[in-house]
Amino acid sequence: MPTTLTEPFIARHDLWTAEQHAAAEDVLAQLDSLEQIRIGWGDQHGIVRGKALTPRELARSLREGKDFQTATLIMDTANVPSVPPFGHAGFGVEAMTGLPDAVLVPDPTTFRVLPWAERTGWMLADLHFRSGEPVPFCTRGVLRRQLTRLAELGYGYRCGVEMEFYVTRLLDPHLAPAAAGYPPDPPTVEVLAHGYQYLTDNRLDEADAILRILQRTCEALGLPLCTIEDEWGPGQCEFTFSPMDGAAAADAVLLFRSAVKQVCRRHGYHATFMARPALENFFSSGWHLHQSLVDLQSGDNAFASEDAALSPTARAFLGGLLEHARAASVFTTPTINGYKRFRPDSFAPDKVAWAFENRGAMIRVCGQAGDDSTHLENRAGEPAANPYLYLASQIASGLDGLERQLDCGEPVSMAYTAQRPALPTSLMQATEALRADPLFARAFGQPFIDYLLTVKASEISRFLATVTDWEQREYFEVY
């Protein structure tokens, strides 16, 4: 039946599944108990942007969506416009010209009640143009398209998240006007514990007060938390989660990071997912992504094999991950700072290599013949990565491996001395690798790659224009 303009936006453009329609009814039934509902959208950096709606406006938005500025799309990590706002900001997409309002379409299946904010609901949304077409720069949509491609081959994607981050005690948030530029001055903090007693019970107990609150928060949100671990640095933690399917894992990461930062701040702490904070005695943090494919017909792990450590499907998928690892670095490690993790013998990879149960390799194979939990762990990711792009880059790379039946080669035994290609050592090298690899332009669309490279070029140019402490020490007295 043809649609008419009198139909609500979401129905008119058929933007919801039957599951989302049913979930919307459940949300509406809870509105009387709520005072405010936050609609969030994961931006190009994996940071949640959005609006807080009254219950009445949320009910309307579940029919019509909610207006939202596309101007946020051109901002780099410090909210500096990466292009002149009213110049060529469309990146080849005519509908972006002039940075018009788009429409946030809530996904009611992601609805949560926030345990730390009084009578407050929360849900994610997708970004659409007023024509109903999806905005091609919405990273949740980028991941969804890769999952669809994978499903067409008969596979589902399953992944487990291990996320490292720091919790520090907040001493001074630096809220004077002079400190409120962009980027603003970082807060002054102190450590919760001395650290460097990896996985010790005593260090874990020293941070128990805030970690227990974070645990309860995760459980109240329905996040599948498994373990809370004391990591290497002072106040460094690792939270691990049970395997999740498809986009649910990326949605969970977005919610988890926001929850951790907001809850910590409310209790007088500062949490950071920055890979290598510039604080004395701090160690790098990573995001280790465990992944496998599921046969959609049988439900079996497609990476497992009765007579080998890896099935042919796993070996081809792994071949794709290796083939495109350098270009994928922009997605796994999207910040200038993240590349400071990649050091020899640092528990972070510096080579494009794989190995069995070796934490120095980029891809660590976990499992053996007859093990139905066999999977691949990518150790190159940083905690600040956009989760949709991190996962999408893995699927796109692995799909290319499957379609071309790429050979993953032999494993390494000495990850840091093996004669294998080096991972990029800077975001500058990574963007050049992405520009040179045609896979992601085919998979994500050339406009998206041009767009993302433009945003990253803005961050890089600001970095290169900044005189660092190292330069001042190196040259000011000598020359």
Question: What is the CATH classification number for the domain harbouring 52?
Answer: 3.10.20.70
Report how far apart, in Å, the C-alpha atoms of 442 and of each of 91, 113, 446 are: 16, 39, 7
4 falls within a domain: no
E strands, 192-315, are 225-230, 236-241, 244-245, 269-272, 287-295
189 falls within a domain: yes
| Cα torsion 38, 42, 46, 51: sign | negative
**What pLDDT score was predicted for residue 89?**
58
Model-wide pTM > 0.85:
yes
Residues 256 and 370 in one domain: yes
Place of tokens 């008969």: 154
Ramachandran class of 306: left when φ > 0, alpha when ψ lies in -120 to 50, beta otherwise = alpha
463 falls within a domain: no
- Are 452 and 446 in contact by the 8 Å Cβ rule? The answer is no
Residues 165 and 128 in one domain: no
**What pLDDT score was predicted for residue 1?**
39
Q: Which domain holds residue 435?
A: 147-444
What phi and psi values does residue 446 have, to the nearest 5 degrees? Answer: -60, -40
Residues 151 and 267 in one domain: yes
Which of these three, 79, 99, 134, is where a domain ends? Answer: 134
Residues 167 and 128 in one domain: no
Ramachandran class of 281: left when φ > 0, alpha when ψ lies in -120 to 50, beta otherwise = left
- Are 109 and 246 in contact by the 8 Å Cβ rule? The answer is no
Residues 22 and 170 in one domain: no
Q: Would you state the structure tokens that stand for residue 434, as one six-digit string?
A: 């992405």
AA identity, residue 283: F
CATH number at residue 370: 3.30.590.10
Which of these three, 134, 158, 192, is where a domain ends? Answer: 134
Residues 103 and 240 in one domain: no
Residues 153 and 128 in one domain: no
Q: How far apart are CA 232 and CA 283, in angstroms?
A: 7
Q: How far apart are CA 378 and CA 404, in angstroms?
A: 21
Nearest residue to 452 (alpha-carbon basis) of 41, 44, 42: 44
Question: How many structural domains does the chain have?
Answer: 2
Angle, alpha carbons 116-120-123 (nearest 5°): 105
**What pLDDT score was predicted for residue 5?**
62
461 falls within a domain: no
- Are 235 and 260 in contact by the 8 Å Cβ rule? The answer is no
Q: Which residues pair with 162 in a beta bridge?
A: 240, 288
Q: Whole-angstrom distance between the N-terminal and C-terminal Cα of the chain?
A: 77
- b (16+ CB within 10 A) / e for 68-101: bebebbbbbbeeebbbeeeeebbbebeebeebee
258 falls within a domain: yes
Ramachandran class of 405: left when φ > 0, alpha when ψ lies in -120 to 50, beta otherwise = left
464 falls within a domain: no
Per-residue pLDDT of the chain (479 residues; tens, 9 = 90+): 344 567 999 999 999 999 999 999 999 999 999 999 999 999 999 999 999 999 999 999 999 999 998 888 888 888 888 887 776 556 778 888 888 899 999 999 999 999 999 999 999 999 999 999 999 999 999 999 999 999 999 999 999 999 999 999 999 999 999 998 888 899 999 999 898 888 888 899 999 999 999 999 999 999 999 999 999 899 999 999 999 998 999 999 999 999 999 999 999 999 999 999 999 999 899 999 999 999 999 999 999 999 999 999 999 999 999 999 999 999 999 999 999 998 777 788 999 999 998 888 999 999 989 889 999 999 999 999 999 999 999 999 999 999 999 999 999 988 898 889 999 999 999 999 999 999 999 999 999 999 999 999 999 999 999 998 989 999 988 89
Residues 237 and 120 in one domain: no
Residues 299 and 437 in one domain: yes
Residues 164 and 82 in one domain: no
DSSP assignment, residue 75? Answer: B
105 falls within a domain: yes
